Amino acid sequence: MNQLLCFTSAFCLILFHGYLSIAEAGLIGVNYGMLGNNLPPPSEVIALLKSRQITRVRLFDPNYDALQALQGSGIDVILGTLNQDLQNLGSDLSFARNWVQENVIPYSEAVTFRCISAGNEVIPGDLAVHVLPAMRNLKTALREANLGEIPVSTTVSTAVLGNSYPPSRGEFTKEVSPTMKSITEFLAAAKSPLLVNVYPYFAYIYDQQNISLAYALFNSSEVVVKDGQLGYKNLFDAITDAVYSALEKVGGNYVVIVVSESGWPSNENGEIATIANAQMYNNKLIAHVSGASGTPKRPGRSIDTYVFAIFNENLKPSGTEQHFGLYYPNMTEVYHVEFTQ
């Protein structure tokens, strides 16, 4: 996270789904982070997800045990690369081929890969220059392996935005605009989504004078922000539409956003990061994106969304970062979230 403000048997034939702009409910997944020294084995975690009827998961990087456990589970996967691999992925096609050979091909008949993400939240930053070359080489390697229908993208935080209010004025910062324009062109040509981490929590804590807690928690019944003919009752939609506006300004009118992370911490920030608020946010988030309403700017367009995260992770930075989990490491609930709406 960037606090500044994306089957029936092990032998079945897998179809790799594209991201279509059709009016349907967004599908819900979870982020499976592993920055903890007390977490259960992946086989138990995947069994837990199946018991909760969770059908999507995001892995931040390839994990052999997790990928093994996912085979034949019916749980689709967004698979990330390590940020430190981006330079090699972008500069060396053979490295990208080996990455696909080791991390995708062995599982491709029993796992549906929804997307490969080249890095996580490296734009802006020193690694940003390597993202698009890495995406291109990964796509080439997938095509050579007859897996070209798997989308390739990258994951960004809202730190890429120079302006986000009102949503129609959303635009990328001058620093990242050339990079995001090139990435957007790649995504548009490939009909692949942009993965975006959307956190109303961080927007709220950095601007409490202008943002109400109710607006951040999906708890406003009235329009809070009027943007031309569009009205916003929640901050999640406003942030998402600000990114859509930024994409439009660099030629990405038809690029779809997948919300790769969203969540709310349950501890370590007074009366803001509480179990009650986290439970409210995540349940209302799931209900909202499952309702097929889309956003004011993209009504009726599905917003596939991945809740952050499965577990409280004790090796993340101290403070709220360790308290985004739906579950404690012993697999008891921090609070209950209803995934089937």
pLDDT of residue 338: 96
**75 domain-assigned:** yes
pLDDT of residue 1: 61
> Mean of the pLDDT values across residues 18-28?
59
**Amino acid symbol at 37:** N
pLDDT of residue 302: 87
Q: Tokens for 7? A: 């089957």
pLDDT of residue 12: 31
**What's the whole-number average pLDDT of the chain?**
94
- Name which residue leads in pLDDT, 293 or 233: 233
Q: Which residues are catalytic?
A: 121, 261
**300 domain-assigned:** yes
Separation of alpha carbons 102 and 96, rounded Å:
10
Cα 107 to Cα 71, 79, 100, distances in angstroms: 7, 12, 10
**292 domain-assigned:** yes
Please determine, for residue 284, whether its predicted confidence score (pLDDT) is greater than 70. Answer: yes
Choose among 270, 269, 267, 321: nearest CA to 36: 321
pLDDT of residue 57: 99
What's the domain count of the chain? 1
DSSP string, 99-167: HHHHHTGGGTTT--EEEEEEEES-SSSTTGGGHHHHHHHHHHHHHHTT-TTS-EEEEEEGGGEEE-SSG
**74 domain-assigned:** yes
Query: Residue 283 sits in a domain of what CATH number?
Result: 3.20.20.80
Instruction: Dump pLDDT digits (tens) for 94-142.
Output: 999 999 999 999 999 999 999 999 999 999 999 999 999 999 999 999 9
**261 domain-assigned:** yes
Instruction: Dump pLDDT digits (tens) for 148-162.
Output: 999 999 999 999 999
Separation of alpha carbons 211 and 85, rounded Å:
38
Instruction: Dump pLDDT digits (tens) for 168-202.
Output: 999 999 999 999 999 999 999 999 999 999 999 99
Give the burial string for 136-163 (b: 16+ CB within 10 Å, else e).
Answer: bbbbbbbeeeebeebbbbbbbbbbbbee
Confidence band (pLDDT; 50, 70, 90) for 259?
very high
149 lies in which domain range?
A: 28-159+183-209+256-323
**14 domain-assigned:** no
pLDDT of residue 340: 84
Instruction: Dump pLDDT digits (tens) for 297-328.
Output: 999 988 999 999 999 999 999 999 999 999 99
**117 domain-assigned:** yes
pLDDT of residue 269: 96
Pairing verdict, β 194-197 and 257-262: parallel
Please determine, for residue 252, whether its predicted confidence score (pLDDT) is greater than 80. Answer: yes
pLDDT of residue 24: 61
Helix, strand, coil percentages (3-state) for the chain, rounded to 5, are 35, 20, 45
pLDDT of residue 292: 81
**282 domain-assigned:** yes
pLDDT of residue 156: 99
pLDDT of residue 196: 99
Separation of alpha carbons 280 and 271, rounded Å:
14
Residue 232: is it exposed, middle or buried by C-beta count within 10 angstroms (0-12/13-18/19+)?
A: buried
pTM attached to this predicted model: 0.93
